[in-house]
Structure 1
C-alpha cells in the first residue's frame, strides 16, 4: 500500500516502502568477510575468512547487503518463485542501501548471473536479469551479457567443492571486457556460481571483479 511499510504496515517516510524501525531491524550483513561476503563474528570485521585465505575466489571482493533470513528470505522467495515486482523493487532498493559505493573506481560494466535458456523458459522469469537491468539503469553502468551453456543440476545440498565442480565450464563471456566489472546475483550461498562466472570474466579480460548480491546465506559448515 502506498505510504505504508511493507513489513509492519506502519506509516513509511519519503515514499520508501519501509519505516525506519523495520529498516534498522533487517538482517544486514555488516560483519562479513570482505572477499566472499560470508557472515562473520563481530570481532572479525574486515578480516578475510579462513576459506578465502586457503582458496581465494576468482572475484576480488563482495558486496552483499543482507543475510538470507526472516523477512528477507520471504521477500526473495516471492520475487524469485512468484515473480512479484513489488518484492523485486523493495529488494533492489535494499541492495542500493546496503551496498553503497566503496571508495575507488566504479565498475565499468555489470553482468547478471544468467539462467540457462531452458530453466528461464520453465520458470518464465529471470530474476537476476530483472535486477541487473534496473540497477544498471539507476547506477548508469553498462549492462553486458554472459552465456550459460549447461543447465547445471540444483546446487542445494552440495558442499563447496561439489558446487565448484558442478559449475566448471558453465559460463562464457564474449570479450574483451573492461578492466573493472561487477557480477550480480540475487542470493549468494557459497559463492561458487559467482566464482565460475568470475573465471569466465577473467578469461575475457576483466582485471578487477566485484560480486554483488541482495542476500548471503550463512553457512553452517565449511
Structure 2
C-alpha cells in the first residue's frame, strides 16, 4: 500500500530541490501521474471529480478576489468593483483582464515548474485552473487568442514557450484559433523594473500582420503590472482588433513586482 502522507512530503521536497534537473523533475511528475491516479495534485487525497484537485485544496488556493475590473490588480475590500488608481490615471490598451489567481503559494510553485522546467503536468493543472476561473461569457467572447510571444533567442535558450503552450491548448478547449504576434526586438528582462520602466522597455516590441478579428484575448501565464499586455494590446489594435482582453493564470500581488 502506498503511504500517501510520505509520498506528499517526498514529492514536495523533490520539487523544491534547487539542483534537480528538468529531466528528473518531469520524470517525477510522470511517475506520480502513473503511480497515483485519481489523486489531488496538491495533497494527494482521493478525487471524486474529474478535476486534478480536491475541493478543500481548490477552495484554499489564492484566488484573486476582489480585483480591479479592468487590469485585475488585487484590491482591498473597500475598493471592491472599482477601477484601481493605475487604470484611472492611465487606462490600459486592453478593455479588461481575467486573472483568477494570485501568483503565490502553490500557484507560484506550479508556474515555476511549468515555465522553467517545462513540466506538462504543472501546465495541465494551470490550464484547467484558467478555464475554470474564466466566466462562461468570457470563454465564449474572443474570436482568436494571441499568446504573448517570446523573442526567438529567448525561446531557444529556454527551450519552451509557456504562453504559446497555454494558448494552443486553451484554443482547442474553447474552439478558437490562434493569431501569432512577433517579438520585433529582444527587450531586456522586466525583473526589477517598475511600471513605467516596463512600458518604456517594451515600446515597439510587438508586431502582428493586419487583419486580426474584431475581438481577441491575449494569453500568458503570469500578469505582473500589465505592461506587456498593454503594449501587445496596442499592437493588436493597430492590426485591426477593436476589443482586446488580457487573460493569465495568476497576478503578481502589489509590492512583489
Under a length normalisation based on structure 1, what TM-score does the superposition of the two structures give?
A: 0.97
Query: 1:221: Cα distance to partner?
Result: 8.2
Corresponding residue to 1:195 among 204, 223, 230? 230
Q: CA deviation at 1:101?
A: 2.9
**Alignment of 1:110 onto 2:145:** yes
Give the corresponding residue for 2:87.
Answer: 52
The match for 2:176 among 113, 132, 141 is 141
RMSD: 1.5
Deviations 1:125-160 (A, max 9, x none): 000000000000000011110000111111011011
2:192 to 157, 161, 173: 157
Measured in 1, the distance between the counterparts of 2:48 and 2:83 equals 37
Match of 1:184 in 2: 219
Kept in 2: contact 1:28–1:98 (CA 8 A): no
TM score, norm. by length of structure 2: 0.84
Count of residues in correspondence between the two structures: 222
Unmatched 5+ residue regions in structure 1? Answer: none
1:213 aligns with 2:213: no
- Tell me, yes or no, if the aligned pair for 2:145 and 2:219 is still in contact at 8 Å: yes
**Deviations 1:44-94, CA, capped at 9 Å, x for gaps:** 221110110001000000000100000000000000000000000000000
Unaligned runs of 5+ in 2: 1-35
- Tell whether 2:160 aligns with 1:125: yes
2: CA distance, partners of 1:105 / 1:33 = 21
Corresponding residue for residue 79 of structure 1: 114
Instruction: Say if 2:98 is the partner of 1:98.
Output: no
* Cα distance change, pair 66–104 in 1 and its aligned pair in 2 (3 A): closer
Task: Decide which of 225, 229, 239 is 1:204's aligned counterpart.
Answer: 239
| Bigger relative contact order (CA 8 A; separation at least 6) | 1
Higher-Rg structure is 2
Tell me, yes or no, if the aligned pair for 1:4 and 1:18 is still in contact at 8 Å. Answer: yes
